[in-house]
Structure 1
Amino acid sequence: MKTVIQKNGGLLLTGLFLLFVWPVCAQQGAWPVIKKETKPWTRWWWIGSAVNEKNLASSLEVLHQAGFGGVEIAPIYGAMGYESQYVSFLSPRWTDLLRYTVAAAGERQMGVDLTTGTGWPFGGPQVTKAYAASKIIMQHYHLSAGKSLSQPIRVNDVKQEGAALQALTAYNGNQVVLLMDKVDKEGRLRWSPASGEWELYALFDGRTLQQVKRAAPGGEGYTLDHLSAEGLRVYLHRFDTAFKHRAPGVRSFYNDSYEVYNADWTPAFLMAFKHKRGYDLSKYLRELASNDSTDLVARVKSDYRETMSELLLENFTRPWTQWAHGYKSLSKNQAHGSPANLLDLYAAVDIPECETYGSTYFPIPGLRRDSADIRNVDPDPVMLKFASSAGHVEGHPLISSETFTWLTEHFKTSLSQCKPEVEQAFLSGVNHVFYHGNTFSPPEVPWPGWLFYAAVNFVPTNSFWPHLPGLNEYITRVQSVLQSGVPDNELLVYWPVYDTWYRAKGHDMPLMVHSIDEWLHPTAFYKQVKELQRTGYSLDFISDRQLARADVRNGKDSGRVQLSAYKVIVIPKTRLMPVATMQQLIRLATEGATVVMEALPEDVPGLGDLGKRRKALKALLVSLSFKPAADGLTVAQRGKGRLILAGDVQATLWKVGLEGEKLASKGLKFIRRKEKNTTWYYLVNHTPQKIDEYLPLNKAEGEVMLLDPQTGNTGIALRKEEGGRTVVKLQLLPGEAMIVHTGKGVQAGAMADWKYLDSPEVPLTLSGSWQLTFTKGWPFMPVTRQLDKLMPWTALGDTAANAYCGSGVYSTTFTLLEKKAGEYVLDIGDVHESAHVWVNGQDAGILWAIPFRARIGQYLKAGSNEIRIEVANLMANRIRYMDQHQVPWRRYHEINFVNINYTPFNAAGWPVQVSGLTGPVTITRYE
């Protein structure tokens, strides 16, 4: 059946504000140059390292054709039945395969990164107990006057046999006696108190005994002591031997998230503590063992945590980075989870990397988010900004992200769900995305091939693979912009880590993604950051260590942190601040910085020289002499700059002439980049409302160009002056993104104007009959159907269609009695889950995310027209069928395969997932 449009009939699609696009050939020069780094990369699991040259080359070619710019090799456990094909990690054969991979990737203009280990965290057969992750073992004894201990002081845990006694201290009220010199080689204490009741605390250097998680063959062993400099040297020596000190050619070495559990010690800790903190921790074993909420306990624990932070930075992160540089490679590190100042660890590597874990709620109409298929974890953009902030402050050009970890349950992730999640990472400062991920799988392995248990499966066997270039091209365009120039953030917000470390409970404090409700969300820092972002300010975070190296002048000293790009340093309400940090803030103000303090610090952190440091801080604060100024601010003038005491930070920023972006009040999210005398805006509409109005952009001047990252098309925007500022017309539907390029340096040349969609006519609904043909799918090919109306193929009552995983093509014809000027917009309605459209045999594009719309005017003609919509569903229904019929497909060593709740995976009880096109499919003409 055909649908006929009368000559006088209008086409209307209420609320549609898609932006007109021009052929890509007309916009080449508007977008930044595409490089391998601007394309998405993927983690590439080598199952058992069962790889060979032929399959590696073909797999890289498939990834290259899909739009990937590089791979991140992660060797892990093997698949059952393929043991004979395993290649032992770092064996001569393994290193030959690595070098082959680097060469084969280079031939395709792709890059290769490599984890410095297998599975995670770092560890392996070269890690003996002497260099394995350490932990505190504390034992308590009671001793009365005139008595002696009958038993030797040895560790009680048989698993810790041989753990060295490092400190023994006796307490009687305020009396403290160090007893290590009273213990003989057999562990006998040669000491008896003359009077009183004494409590003795013994500290042993124990081992966590943690093994490498998900280790590949040849990578099994103890987890490394990341606080030990000698341990790292021993660990890396195995790589030096395998590489024969010849660079393997990888772009960077990377370190996964810090998951070294219960590792709260290192053999040299006591010595390092005394050197760094200025007092003997042995005198405070009682406090170290206590969880009492006292000031003394919290201060000792703070000093302990600061020392651990410095050891991780100095003995692991920095020397590992230097080692990578020795092989002409970069370092890429995920600091989250570390018991350390995250900003300092991220700052010490070449590519700081964050991680999106779980699923975020976005109020985008139609975006599927099933509660049963997501983890109870919401990625927090503030957490992501620790990595990007450190990189921005240090001037690192790339900020990466391990993206989509456990986004949904296996086989239930759509490309449309990926879009807002990766956009949230971009808005947080990420510009170098790594998918989590892709599993190398030999061609002879039956469907679905080898898979990793915690990932969205971006693999060729996934039914969305033919539509994946849509997502990849979008990410490539966005990253080409976000890798251009430098960040344009006006605020620098101090992170008061000492307030976080001041806690009596526990020993070390891993700053994990999963525990941000404890260490991040309750803080004044977090609340201030969220409020600043809500009011349209762009910002980065800075640590005490970075502030100590800061300079407001434009210098060329590579060891300094240049703050000239930031307009204001914001100090959220902070209880504990080192004297040196306060001194540095005053120095920066003297040199011209504006420092806005929500409140003055109340005290200094830590215990050593406490009275002296308290007096020094008090003297500094008194010397500031804050006074009321004419503009109503409370100011301490210092040299070229000033410190401002402000209970209302946002109001103060407005008074000093710094306004947030007004577009934030509309719910639009943004991030900016500066490039020469131009500014790039990346805008995203994650709200449920359409945007169709003139909006002010703080940096808009000169020419204003719009670039659509969804399609690649560009044009000159409508703009006008209102109230002394430039306002720009923007049209974004929920779920859409837009890039704005503005500034005196924007060269528009002969570029056409951006064609906005205005004055929609009455819409045409393609409500006639449709033919449904199944292509490229399994396990059964349903028969071709003639449908009286649009419906998903899972509504056909066909058991073959219910089990089907692949593509189905919906096709129909309609008649245009007249092809008018203007633009015609196709809306395919409700899609499960992505689509590729052809109009009259011409490719109209991949519709892979909300809103599922495309401009098709250039493909239409007067008279009869044909439309074909290829819909790809999820893998879920085929996996359901296989589990119901007990078809084996998952046989892996170690964890095998688990669901999103880390219990054994079984899809047999799943309901059938809706698959196909529900519609309605409409076409609307715009003037």
Structure 2
Amino acid sequence: MQTKRFLYILSIGVLLSNIAIAQLPAKNMLAWPTVEKQMKPWTRWWWMGNAVDDNNLKIVLQKYAAAGLGGVEITPIYGAVGFEKQYLQFLSPAWMNALHYTIKESNTLGLGVDMNTGTGWPFGGPQVKPENAATKLIIQDYKLSAGEKLSENLKVKEAKQDFAKLQAVTAYGPNGETEDLLSSVQQDGALNWSPKSGVWNIYAAFAGKTRQMVKRAAPGGEGFTLDHLDKKSVDVYLKRFTDSFANKPQGVRSFFNDSYEVYGATWTPTFFAEFKKKRGYDLSKHIKELVSKDSTSEQIARLKSDYRETMDELLLDNFTKNWTNWAHGLKSLTKNQSHGSPGNLLDLYGAVDIPETETFGSSAFDIPGLRRDSADIRNVDPDPMMCKFASSAAHTGGKKLVSSETFTWLTEHFKTSYSQCKPEAEQLFLAGINHIFYHGTTNSPTNVSWPGWLFYASVEMNPNNSLWPHAKGLNNYIARCQSILQAGEADNELLIYWPIYDVWNRAKGLDMALKVHDVDEWLHPTPFYKLTKELSKSGYSFDFASDRLLNKSTVSNNQLKTAENASPYKVLIIPASNMMSPETIDKIVQLATNGATVVFQELPKDVPGLNDLEKRREKLKSSLSKLAFVDEKGISTFKTGKGKIILSNNIQLALKANTINREELTDSGLQFIRRKTASGHYYFLVNHTAKAIDTYLPLNETGKVVILDPQSGLLGKAEMQGNKVRVQIKSGETLFLNVSKEQFENKTWTYLNKAAQKINLTKPWSLHFTAGGPEIPADQKLNKLTSWTHLNDPKLAAFSGTGVYISNFNLPSKNAKEYILNLNQVDESARVWINGQEVGILWSIPFEARIGKYLKAGENTIKVEVVNLMANRIRDMDLKKIQWRNYHEINFVNINYKEFDASNWSIMPSGLIGPVTITPYF
């Protein structure tokens, strides 16, 4: 009895001891940040014809959440033919019910909801009457000799301009004199004036209408495009939403505005008055110069610079800030694509809560095996430096998120693999983007036959895509990356001024829309661009600054502060520029006096604009004359107050002399971006070179290093040599490095040192098809891996879907430190199991995984589930003339905006091609 009691007490003691141990604090381990919904990729979500219903919305939202998406951005567009009875009118009670159901169901699933403040693009609709519509300047000119009177009334000759308003009439005499004739125009348009001598040119200026309609509008969203430059018109536009929302928050996280594509909108009816107030002189006296075809005149360039600056101010104040204030009143944010706007992109991006850039087309990467078919490429390359305009606005404004419309026309329809998506997304991350929005996902009801409803410029991120079963691989990778890229603050040491006046100071053209597609014109030729490319390649990190941003910046502890919650900058760099306002140069000197370090590549040569030109030139000259540079170790330096101004054409030499060190890791070919957190720093390393890199990298930040692999989720303590960290990273791979003073207790990272002889998996494979179409092919026995389109089954040439490969292999002994499975060629994504345990989804180059923990000595089984592209099935449908595309407004087009036809495509390789190998490492 005593023994039983003793054993009972002992067992209770052991149990209590175990409970106590379980309650002890865990070791100090670094882990991945907890993934929140904004860290996952979101998607543009097209509601075709607004043909949505609760049942289908619930089904697709559940699929989106299960695949790892974090949210949707509703953009209603045109509909599919034959489904008109299901259409909902935009903002009608039925449409609002659909919105409320979407938000409620999304909240249940942990998804966020954004919403376009309109349908299609750009903003416009039935509430935009002609008086509120996008406006253009119409000029008509006439000639009169002495004593002559104009024989016709001053009426707009252009058709369909019933709402055009005469705003100015200016006469230009033979000796350069001007005369305002507006008061001489009678109510019927007759001009009651004639010149006394010589031949005079008469210019009549009208505020006409562009007549642009909303592109790709949804039912209930059709109408004229909005006049973004006029506050009253913007207010009228937004009132429709306010009324539909009953002036109450709707649960929309953020309202969205697409890229500015308001074509030919060169004017607003208040322009003359606003110009005089802002620029200080009367533009109506310069109509002739404003519309001049002369592309070389300095005076005309200055006039048009003033015109463009006024456009910038009107767009910023009357639309961007106005719209954002409206959204805040509904407890929502704004997300804006400012590119394409006729204004300073940095300020326009900076005036919203979430700046958003976009990628259009595809980039060329050196990653071996990455497919890039010339027939599937649009004639445009995404430029990471262009993307930095959006991220700079976020960083300098202390904003947490900066997003991108991603993968637009990445390849031809149905040919985009996840492997092709990966480096494009990484290029965005390197540019400072930290929230991917797919372009995109079309809402498609379950009763619509395959391939469902599709948008004409999308990579088809939807459940009908044959790749969809593996979407979680891509989505989880992006979520891991963004969980760190949204942490803390951007860590960029340089602030680089963007000389906008050099861009605006051109005599050619009128308005200047700074488009993503036109960077060859307004960005690439500039010294600013050349300098930023050189600095980036050399290992410096930076953001861009506008005149407005500098004007509100301060200095603290000898560093530049652009916003209260923004990370400070060590140096302000002024690239070579011709034009700079006296106010900006004075502000720069003030920042230096307060302790900042400023480096001029060259001093500005002139002031922009026309008003008080000589007076402002003298002011600039006076300000520059006070910069008494002296030589300090071969560098011209002017010390002022607590700081200094340096003049050096060799920017990197000046930075080095001021102990601003580059990250030498870029010498290896790797690219990087840094984030700063309360406990240390993160480096994001990307290998887009053609080679594997195994080296010790020098880091500017010091401390203990933990490696984090966003592909596998693995992490471990790095091997160090002094302040250098050992990194192994193959072509196409990425890694994060956490650098901290804290000593984490994670396991040591397993490096792949000595490779033993590869194990080739040469035993036969069984292949079973589990899902897809148009028909499920028969099972196959393969003695050798090859594209399943080469197998003896005619169904496989047209098949898009899922095939499962099973084989086995013998591992005589398990004594290596790690084993690497390499699938080599996969078309297009693979999910792997070893001995019944899931390894993961291998969806990108290199198709490799660490599998040591799944292996055993002796016989092992391997199962590989492979999904291929939609391309072969679409090709088959077009060969058979099966109608699958029939939409209103624009039907389905190919990458060159021609009629889509896949019947002449070659069959795309599909399946596990291999060879499959396992390499032991000791």
Structure 2 length normalisation: TM-score? 0.96
Aligned-partner Cα distance in 2 for 1:228–1:753:
61
Are 1:421 and 2:424 matched, yes or no? Answer: yes
Structure 1 window deviating more from structure 2 (311-320 vs 861-870): it is: 861-870
**1:737 equivalent among 734, 738, 746:** 734
Match for 1:917: what amino acid?
L
Are 1:167 and 2:168 matched, yes or no? Answer: yes
**2:226 equivalent among 219, 224, 227:** 224
Match for 1:47: what amino acid?
M
Match for 1:163: what amino acid?
A
Report what 2:191 is aligned to.
Answer: 189
Are 1:72 and 2:73 matched, yes or no? Answer: yes
Are 1:801 and 2:804 matched, yes or no? Answer: no
CA 1:494–1:311 in 2, change beyond 3 Å: closer, same or farther?
Answer: same
Aligned-partner Cα distance in 1 for 2:85–2:205:
47
SS in 2 for 1:160: coil
- Deviation (angstroms), 1:353: 0.3
SS in 2 for 1:159: coil
- Aligned partners of 1:553 and 1:563 also within 8 Å: no
Report what 1:136 is aligned to.
Answer: 137
SS in 1 for 2:482: helix
- Aligned partners of 1:493 and 1:569 also within 8 Å: yes
- Aligned partners of 2:558 and 2:643 also within 8 Å: no
Are 1:751 and 2:746 matched, yes or no? Answer: yes
Report what 2:361 is aligned to.
Answer: 358
Report what 1:612 is aligned to.
Answer: 615
SS in 2 for 1:616: helix
Aligned-partner Cα distance in 2 for 1:677–1:552:
24
Aligned-partner Cα distance in 2 for 1:466–1:344:
41
Match for 2:246: what amino acid?
K
Say which structure, 1 or 2, has more relative contact order (CA 8 Å, 6+ apart): 1
- Aligned partners of 2:338 and 2:356 also within 8 Å: yes
Aligned-partner Cα distance in 1 for 2:661–2:566:
19
Are 1:501 and 2:482 matched, yes or no? Answer: no
- Deviation (angstroms), 1:291: 2.3
**Aligned residue runs from structure 1 range 776-795, under 5 A:** 776-795=771-790
Report what 2:901 is aligned to.
Answer: 906
Q: Deviations over 1:585-607 (max 9, x none)?
A: 00000011110000000000000
Report what 2:88 is aligned to.
Answer: 87
Are 1:918 and 2:920 matched, yes or no? Answer: no
Report what 2:519 is aligned to.
Answer: 516
**1:655 equivalent among 654, 657, 662:** 657
Report what 1:12 is aligned to.
Answer: none
Aligned-partner Cα distance in 2 for 1:491–1:175:
50
Q: Deviations over 1:231-270 (max 9, x none)?
A: 0110011011111111111001010010100101000000
Report what 1:400 is aligned to.
Answer: 403
Match for 2:31: what amino acid?
A
- Aligned partners of 1:554 and 1:562 also within 8 Å: no
Aligned-partner Cα distance in 2 for 1:784–1:106:
43
Pairs aligned (count): 895
Match for 2:463: what amino acid?
P
**Aligned residue runs from structure 1 range 658-673, under 5 A:** 658-673=660-675
- Deviation (angstroms), 1:831: 1.1
Report what 1:101 is aligned to.
Answer: 102
Aligned-partner Cα distance in 2 for 1:633–1:564:
28
Report what 2:549 is aligned to.
Answer: 546
SS in 2 for 1:711: coil
- Aligned partners of 2:360 and 2:406 also within 8 Å: yes
CA 1:141–1:309 in 2, change beyond 3 Å: closer, same or farther?
Answer: same
Q: Deviations over 1:664-688 (max 9, x none)?
A: 1111111101101400111100000
Report what 1:727 is aligned to.
Answer: 724
Q: Deviations over 1:436-461 (max 9, x none)?
A: 11111110100011111111100111
Aligned-partner Cα distance in 2 for 1:632–1:489:
27
Aligned-partner Cα distance in 2 for 1:250–1:652:
48
- Deviation (angstroms), 1:287: 0.6
- Aligned partners of 1:773 and 1:809 also within 8 Å: yes
Aligned-partner Cα distance in 2 for 1:138–1:322:
35
SS in 1 for 2:267: coil
- Deviation (angstroms), 1:767: 2.3
Q: Deviations over 1:665-724 (max 9, x none)?
A: 11111110110140011110000011101010111x221111000011110001121xxx
Runs of 4+, deviation exceeding 4 Å: 25-29, 554-564
Match for 2:260: what amino acid?
Y
- Aligned partners of 2:75 and 2:120 also within 8 Å: yes
**Aligned residue runs from structure 1 range 383-462, under 5 A:** 383-462=386-465
SS in 2 for 1:403: strand
- Aligned partners of 1:253 and 1:332 also within 8 Å: yes
**1:574 equivalent among 573, 577, 592:** 577
SS in 1 for 2:220: coil
SS in 2 for 1:815: strand
Aligned-partner Cα distance in 2 for 1:210–1:247:
31
- Deviation (angstroms), 1:28: 7.7
Aligned-partner Cα distance in 1 for 2:101–2:417:
34
**1:373 equivalent among 373, 376, 388:** 376
Structure 2, unmatched stretches of 5+, are: 1-25
SS in 1 for 2:37: coil
- Deviation (angstroms), 1:563: 7.3
SS in 1 for 2:160: helix
Report what 1:681 is aligned to.
Answer: 683
**2:208 equivalent among 200, 206, 209:** 206
CA 1:730–1:459 in 2, change beyond 3 Å: closer, same or farther?
Answer: same
Aligned-partner Cα distance in 1 for 2:140–2:534:
47
Report what 1:696 is aligned to.
Answer: 698
Aligned-partner Cα distance in 1 for 2:51–2:611:
55
**Aligned residue runs from structure 1 range 34-45, under 5 A:** 34-45=35-46
- Aligned partners of 2:558 and 2:594 also within 8 Å: no
Aligned-partner Cα distance in 2 for 1:535–1:255:
35
- Deviation (angstroms), 1:799: 2.1
Report what 1:705 is aligned to.
Answer: 706
Are 1:831 and 2:826 matched, yes or no? Answer: yes
Report what 1:478 is aligned to.
Answer: 481
Report what 1:888 is aligned to.
Answer: 883
- Deviation (angstroms), 1:555: 13
Aligned-partner Cα distance in 2 for 1:649–1:563:
24
- Aligned partners of 1:302 and 1:605 also within 8 Å: yes
- Deviation (angstroms), 1:162: 3.8
- Deviation (angstroms), 1:33: 2.0
Are 1:382 and 2:385 matched, yes or no? Answer: yes
Match for 1:145: what amino acid?
A
**Aligned residue runs from structure 1 range 57-68, under 5 A:** 57-68=58-69
Report what 1:11 is aligned to.
Answer: none
- Cα RMSD of the aligned pairs, angstroms, is 1.6
Match for 2:733: what amino acid?
E
Report what 2:335 is aligned to.
Answer: 332
Q: Deviations over 1:56-115 (max 9, x none)?
A: 112111110101111100011111111111111000111111111111111111110000
Report what 1:15 is aligned to.
Answer: none
- Deviation (angstroms), 1:553: 2.1
Report what 1:467 is aligned to.
Answer: 470
Report what 1:774 is aligned to.
Answer: 769
Aligned-partner Cα distance in 2 for 1:27–1:239:
51
Match for 1:474: what amino acid?
Y
- Aligned partners of 1:837 and 1:847 also within 8 Å: yes
Structure 1 length normalisation: TM-score? 0.95
- Deviation (angstroms), 1:520: 0.5
